[in-house]
């Protein structure tokens, strides 16, 4: 069965790029445009993985990760955050919040697939 992935990003083009790359590799993709929508969508189901931006309006990625990790149902779900190389402090904060790993922005389609396979082990 193909893994289901929730992508959370306020940029429509980044969401689209992720969707094209992930669906092309056989993953099922659900999208959210900010942290609040991400929490709402994750609460209703258990995704195999969540990929999120950090800087977003309404609810940012860090807050979303903290909210998700408070929910027993979201324990153990890999959460990958998207960051730029210069965001070392954000990287540390996101890990402390419960993130699993990161994806450096900008990324190529094969990079996101490689990270997903690395984290999911498939």
Partner 1 sequence: MSGDNPAATFRLEALDVMDEVERALLDLGRRLGDAQLIDAVFRGLHTVKGSGAMFGFDDLADFTHHCESAFDKVRKGLVPATGELVSVILAACDHMRGLIAAEADVAAGQVFLDGLSAALAGAQGVTPVAAPSAGAHWRIRYFLPSGCLANGINPLALLAELRELGDCQITALTDAIPPLAELEPTDCHIGWEVELSGAITREDIEDVFLFVLDDMEITIEQIASESTPANDHLPTAETGAIAEADRATKNTARVSETVRVPADRLDDLMNRVGELVIAQSRLSQLAEDMSMIFKGCSGCWASMASTSKSPGHGVSLVSLSII
**Could you say which of 1, 26, 86, 89 contacts partner 1 (CB under 8 A)?**
86
Residue 4 sits in the site that holds partner 1 (CB under 8 A): no
Applying CB under 8 A, the span of 10-18, 22-30, 36-44, 56-64 interacting with partner 1 comes to 10-18
* CB hemisphere CA count around 11 (13 angstroms): 11
Residue 2 sits in the site that holds partner 1 (CB under 8 A): no
**Could you say which of 2, 20, 24, 43 contacts partner 1 (CB under 8 A)?**
20
Q: Which residue has the tokens 């800087």?
A: 55
Q: Which two tokens stand for residue 89?
A: 């402090």
Q: Indicate the DSSP class of residue 102.
A: E
Q: Which residue has the tokens 């450096």?
A: 104
Rounded-to-integer distance, Cα 14 and Cα 106, Å: 9
Nearest to 78 by CA among 51, 110, 44: 51
Residue 109 sits in the site that holds partner 1 (CB under 8 A): yes
Q: Which residue has the tokens 């969508």?
A: 41
Residue 89 sits in the site that holds partner 1 (CB under 8 A): no
Provide the minimum distance between the beta carbon of 58 and partner 1 in the complex, in angstroms, as a whole number. Answer: 19
List residues binding partner 1 (CB under 8 A). 11-14, 16-17, 20, 49, 69, 72-73, 75-79, 84-86, 95, 98-102, 105-109, 118-121
């Amino acid at each position: 069965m193909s893994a289901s992935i929730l992508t959370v990003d306020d940029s429509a083009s980044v969401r689209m790029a992720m969707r094209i790359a992930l669906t092309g590799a056989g993953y099922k993709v659900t999208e959210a445009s900010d942290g609040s929508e991400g929490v709402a969508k994750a609460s209703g189901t258990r995704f195999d993985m969540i990929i999120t931006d950090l800087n977003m309006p309404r609810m940012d990625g860090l807050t979303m990760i903290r909210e998700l990790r408070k929910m027993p149902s979201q324990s153990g779900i890999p959460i990958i955050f998207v960051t730029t190389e210069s965001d070392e402090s954000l990287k540390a904060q996101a890990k402390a919040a419960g993130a699993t790993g990161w994806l450096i922005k900008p990324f190529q389609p094969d990079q996101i697939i490689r990270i997903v396979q690395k984290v999911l082990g498939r």
